[in-house]
Amino acid sequence: MQLNPNRVIIGMSGGVDSSVAAALLVEQGYDVIGITIKTYKYEDVGGNVGNDSTCCSLDGINDARRVCMKLGIPHYVVDFTERFKHEVIDYFIEDYRAGNTPNPCVACNRTIKWGEMIKKANALGAKWIATGHYAGIRFENERYVLSREMENRKDQSYALWGLSQESLSRTMFPLTGFTKERSRAEAERFGLGLESKPESYEICFIPDNDYRRFLRDNVPNIQSETKGDIMLDGKPLAKHDGFPFYTIGQRKGLGISHPEPLYVLNVIPETNIIEVGTDEHLLHKGLVAHSINLIKYDTLKKATRFITKIRYKDDGEIGECFINQDGKLEIHFEEPRRAITPGQSVVLYEGNDVVGGGIIEYWKD
């Protein structure tokens, strides 16, 4: 397959970051094609589907089209709704029904934003795909290495740990080294009219940011079938509204009174039980993760100390990391970690480099 090394397709959400990334590529002389992915059927998700704070809204598509017209580049909207439903939305629902707390952006990045975008790049003869993510890529020791923007509070490397070597080899991040403030300044310089556009925080297919409402709307009887007991020290304390509506570490919304603050310690879907306890019971010394993807190294032959992040807004702590006899990632922390949450990602860093990551399966004491 002959691919044009000067042609780039860029995923455009209509936001500041992807729009500035596209403008920079045009300025650098690349043959740029804007692609906006339609990931869900707006009538199916509820909430305010025109809300421009979500990355895949109708407003976002219109803004992306307008920016492409301003830059003089083609713009296409591609419909990935069926694949997105299977790979992201169905996974999101089933993980909550399994008592976990999923991270849909990680799944979307791997299967949709890169998996499907690379197929589209091949069809259009483009060697490269680009996005507006804040992260870095370099080639070193026969590996493509993903790195974090350590000084950038908008660093997005945590959500990109699932990218394969093939995906990284085809990727450009035009905003490497940028801050959000610089991106807004560049949007103004290019005259894109987006410098004051608010950022996207919500899950794209839940535009009102109410995942409980989304589950109730999309899973018949989920509330009635998952109700059960809130247990403290093995004894029933109260009733809950359905275990998918609770997550590890949650304090608010439990509807119980107790002399000490109580938190969700565990969600047990087999018996519809939610275990609660005091804050110190949220601390655990290790974890096991599945669905491992290694980036900087092709294997972890021996236990090695890395910085580990167990959620996006985690500063990270040192852990001894290795692949156990079951082929899963096992981590023993130097200091116990709080609220280790099955379904979330654990990501390993060596300095600023992403070593790899996995999906947390359970904690260990």
Query: CA–CA separation, 209 vs 284, rounded Å?
Result: 29
DSSP label of 165: H
Contact between 329 and 345 (Cβ < 8 Å): no
- Which residues have C-beta within 8 Å of that of residue 284, sequence separation ≥ 6? 336, 337, 340, 363, 364, 365
Q: Using one digit for the tens of pLDDT, what is the confidence trace for 23-78?
A: 999 999 999 999 999 887 665 555 554 444 455 567 889 999 999 999 999 999 99
Q: Using one digit for the tens of pLDDT, what is the confidence trace for 290-312?
A: 999 999 999 998 999 999 999 99
What are the φ/ψ torsions at residue 334 (nearest 5 degrees)?
Answer: -65, -40
Q: Are strands 75-79 and 31-38 parallel, antiparallel or unpaired?
A: parallel
Assigned superfamily of 4-132+174-189: HUPs (3.40.50.620)
220-277 belongs to CATH 3.30.420.40: no
Helix (H/G/I), strand (E/B), else coil: 208:
coil
What is the reported pLDDT for 150?
75
- In the chain, domain spans: 4-132+174-189, 220-277
Residue whose pair of structure tokens reads 């197929």 in the numeric block: 119
> Smallest Cα–Cα separation from 169: which of 134, 137, 147, 141?
137
Which residues are part of the catalytic machinery?
108, 204
Give me the percent of the chain exceeding a pLDDT of 70.
95
